[in-house]
Chain A
């Protein structure tokens, strides 16, 4: 479909509306980005800047249904130290809990969002002695138990936080090298990927053991991102550094990929499982493409490999991808300074 359009062209505007593509241009490069989950805040996203300096910014943007514009609310924009590596809204569809947003960088921070302001609720530092903790590469919010957040760090550890008590539940030395991503698979089960090239599964009921369920074929080829299928927790997917393929794993069959998705023309940057279907996954990469795959036929071999069912081409390398869990017809992508939301 069309790339980002010039606002002055009526034809492009019309095309955009027809195909339901909405674009927001930020004043800086976007990396961390995510959808709001609450039912009462539809079409709301948080975007964060990527500037190589201490002061960075987070904006909360909203799609205005009436005119198709994505607008930033200045009162909900705030300064953030260092570029955030990840941003997640609290997984609370039914609005039972306060409206919160979490970000990771030098520390894990939890922000409270009210109608006209955002304030820092918690700054979580697990290292009591030095007032300095290992920089965080990513984190995941436990949907089944929203007071739990797991963070991954370059100091080889994964930390499980209780954000209500603002304390560390558990800290595990997860890998031999930097841990690049973490994902929950259940109440007390999470997995992580690392520069050591492995995917490990941890069970909080048995903290002394972890299981390697995948190792990249070349020694020490880092794995950089991980996604655990929330609809069907038997499956997870991971991205290999400098690789155009996405590896899909079955937790019951350690070490052997179920399928390898290899239709991107350049390295893959992001993956997102469909939040409402157990067999769909979206991938995005340096080839400026977002692809949606149907994995329901994984059980039987497909000659020449699996093809995606849908494709979207953006105007630049797609760096971030998030599939909305409260509005599963929509995915959001970020490339360069643009945020786009796309109807599936």
Chain B
């Protein structure tokens, strides 16, 4: 970043931008070595989002803006220098990017721009030596105004560039202002007057002298700050000097206005002539009688007001006009005060979190970039190509010879790398690599993956083997399973478990009944026992009846007979060639043998028998193979049950 020309430059920028109440002013300075316009200095006069200060006392709007401009500059310098010693360089009042409004951000970002002559708004103004006025800066495309996008987010609507002081002065505002030549003339006066270099120390002294003045003289103080230093220290002489300057100012305005009327345009080269012509007028003014100047202090005040409002007021104006001027100044003060908080609030509402984060990222990058610029300023002097270059100068004719390939082969290899190659990995992740020294570590690192893959396959295989093994065991445990498929095995197992549950219920019921009967001899308990026994019998009948209904497609007569035979039950299950028979009845001699012989007669070959005799009750479970008759048919469950019921004894109650 280039140092400002002198300490007076910012004062001029400040006075000019404040006089017109615009948002910012900048000076683009020509860098002789690179022949490029770079940021020279600036003054920010717009909305402030967050004020950081160590001073507890209130400050005027003017002082706040001045502080802000300095803080923005310090912020940019700190970003440029980088992160070295941040605590030392950045006091608590220093700004960070998140403290900025969008307008301030625009002002800050301008620092990073540079314009060769003829490029961009400042570049064009410099090359043409003519002011450029851009209205609707936030709506044009970035080719017309390279900072258009930034301007849009900051709501900068109007930008003016005026070539001055071997550079370009730029003003910007959030208001939409149409081109106004009187504006150009007005702001130029702040710079044309002071083509003669200023002496810094007397200027400071001037400012210091002005401090004690009362608030009534604030306009005078503001105006005085840009005055040339006085030759004398006398207060009266200072006042005289002010009067002289104001009169000269007025005269110059008149001359320029006349020139404008004559020529019909405001080009810079013609504007310079009025300045030259004005010099004799200044000399003539100096010769005015002392008594006249001393006699018109009020006129001086009027001239100051009229200057701000671009109004022509003759010397010695009447009191009514003076009062009118005073009111106008007051009214102009009021909108400014109201406008500041309004415009400050508006950007706050629109400042989204996303913008804040991205701004920080951009500033981070620019910080690195500025460092790089400092490191290698010679990049602009780069020679495009050497005499031995393999490249030829490009011409449109040469490239016409190419015949584009079919669309299907467009970017073929690039797409192959992006679309096909990454999926090669998924196809064969376990493929072993060839044995080479370079891949030794690779294989070491890859082994866990291969082992994991292999282990997974083995684990899966083991799991399947376990399942198959268990299905086989299950099949052997469950009687009458004939099909090998897993669904059938599961279905049969479910049915078998149900049978087992029913058997458990029956046994439990019978056990309770037996216990009750064993207490019959006791007279005292007999009545209660009888009552319980009857209940049990009813329950038993109900259960047996339900079972028979499920198993037997019974005739009504047989069902009736079964109801009478309370303690007798016969269950027959036949699944293809396998049969299971369960018998429960009163015991008699030779019953088991008789049952087996009967079964043989109906082509049922008994394979296994489990039987028990408990308290006169015979219980048997027979497993058998069902064989076909000569006619190819097998005995049915109903037939088997009928035969069994004929043999077994029935209880008589």
Contact = CB atoms under 8 A, between A and B. Distances in A.
Nearest to B442: A120
A225 interface: yes
A294 B385 CA distance: 12
A20 B423 CA distance: 39
A205 B409 CA distance: 42
Interface string A91-111: 000000000000001100100
Contact of A252 (B362, B385, B392): B362
A267 B410 contact: yes
A183 B399 CA distance: 31
With a 10 A CB-CB cut-off, give which of A20, A205, A256, A267 has the most chain B CB atoms: A267
Interface in B90-136: 109, 112, 115-116, 118-120, 123
B379 A277 contact: yes
Interface in A269-323: 269-270, 274, 276-278, 280, 286-292, 294, 296-297, 299-301, 307-313, 317, 319
B390 interface: yes
Contacts of A241: 411, 415
A186 B422 contact: no
A256 B150 CA distance: 12
Contacts of B150: 252-253
A201 interface: yes
A52 B419 CA distance: 13
Contacts of B442: 81, 109, 120, 123
Contacts of B411: 224, 241-242, 267-269, 286
Given A55-B434, A209-B357, A309-B393, A231 B368 contact: no
B42 to A, nearest CB: 18
B523 interface: no
Nearest to A263: B399
A79 B390 contact: no
Contact of A344 (B386, B437, B439): B386
Given A135-B425, A242-B407, A258-B142, A231 B372 contact: yes
Contacts of A31: 413, 417
A81 B428 CA distance: 11
A172 to B, nearest CB: 14
A300 B119 contact: yes
Contact of A137 (B357, B400, B422, B439): B422
Interface string B488-500: 0000000000000
Interface string A125-141: 10000011011110000
Contacts of B361: 189, 201, 203, 206, 211
B389 A253 contact: no
Given A79-B438, A211-B357, A135 B423 contact: yes
A29 interface: yes
Contacts of A231: 372, 379
A265 interface: yes
B501 to A, nearest CB: 45
Contacts of A225: 414
B418 A251 contact: no
A344 B384 CA distance: 8
A188 interface: yes
A22 B353 CA distance: 53
With a 10 A CB-CB cut-off, give which of A20, A266, A329 has the most chain B CB atoms: A266
A105 B404 contact: no
Interface string B427-439: 0110101101111
A342 interface: yes
Interface stretch (B445-453, B539-547, B590-598): B445-453
Chain B: interface size category = 35 or more
B11 interface: no
A106 B439 CA distance: 14
A256 to B, nearest CB: 6
A306 to B, nearest CB: 11
A169 to B, nearest CB: 18
B445 A20 contact: no
Given A234-B369, A253-B142, A294 B384 contact: yes
Nearest to B145: A299
B388 interface: yes
B292 to A, nearest CB: 55
A232 interface: yes
A29 B413 CA distance: 10
Nearest to A32: B417
B421 A83 contact: yes
A154 B422 contact: yes
B412 A317 contact: yes
A310 B393 contact: yes
Contacts of A81: 433, 439, 442
Nearest to A52: B424
Nearest to A252: B362
A310 B379 contact: no
A249 B81 CA distance: 26
B452 A120 contact: no
B392 A18 contact: no
A23 to B, nearest CB: 11
Given A234-B365, A266-B410, A317-B412, A85 B439 contact: no
A203 B97 CA distance: 15
Given A180-B418, A344-B386, 9 more contacts: A1-B391, A79-B433, A81-B439, A119-B438, A186-B368, A187-B368, A209-B353, A224-B411, A317-B412
13 contacts: A1-B391, A31-B417, A106-B425, A134-B422, A241-B411, A242-B411, A252-B149, A252-B362, A265-B402, A266-B402, A269-B414, A292-B384, A313-B398
Interface of A: 1, 18-21, 29, 31, 50, 52, 54-55, 78-83, 85, 105-106, 109, 117-120, 123, 125, 131-132, 134-137, 144, 153-154, 178, 180, 185-189, 201, 203, 205-206, 209, 211, 224-225, 231-234, 241-242, 251-254, 256, 258, 263, 265-270, 274, 276-278, 280, 286-292, 294, 296-297, 299-301, 307-313, 317, 319, 329, 342-344
Which are the 3 A-B pairs with shortest beta-carbon distances? Answer: A135-B422, A342-B390, A310-B391
